Amino acid sequence: MSSKNGHGIPWPPLIYLAAIVAGVLLHLFLPLPWLGGVLADILFAIGGLCLLAVAALWVSSIRMMMRARTTLNPKGMPEHLLTAGPFAVSRNPIYLANTVLLIGIGLIVGSVWFLLLAFAAAFLTTKLAIEFEEKVLSERFGKRYRDYSRRVRRWI
């Protein structure tokens, strides 16, 4: 699949992009029933809040990674173990943001497909990227990473 030297396919962006494309196509050609009325307005508002949370997570996570001069590439070799800011809440705040993006879109456009695909994308990201990244981080940072992973959950 990949190696510690950073070669291989950076799966997470491709997984989430594929989920968005699949969500749009499924919503257009095979729509599922959605709740209407007042509840739809509330879900729309929650979806908007989700998108604000996504922007906050992306900006704060990427800014922190850039300041630490560590790689943004999911297959790259990390230079530093980040444990503060958004990384104090989730070990994977960017992947969390990507998943919340799908949920937010689903709530805004009223598509169950996006909600289902959010969970599928999170599962695939865990299997194709996070488990590998955790192994690399454990080897690179040892006890510091293991202590961090006991304190902070993988997702939230």
**For 20-61, how does the pLDDT look when each residue is reduced to its tens digit (9 = 90+)?**
999 999 999 999 998 777 899 999 999 999 999 999 999 999
Specify which residues 8 forms β-bridges with.
Answer: 2
Specify if 145 maps to a domain.
yes
What does the pLDDT read at residue 9?
Answer: 74
CA quadruple 61, 82, 86, 137: dihedral sign: positive
What does the pLDDT read at residue 97?
Answer: 98
Structural domain that includes position 63: 12-26+34-151
The number of folded domains in the chain is 1
Which amino acid is located at 141 in the chain?
F
Which two three-digit tokens encode residue 150?
């006991």
Specify if 22 maps to a domain.
yes
Q: What angle do CA 90, 91, 96 make, to 5 degrees?
A: 60
Specify if 62 maps to a domain.
yes
Specify if 6 maps to a domain.
no
Which alpha helices (H) appear in the chain, and where do they start and end? 11-29, 38-67, 93-109, 112-125, 131-151
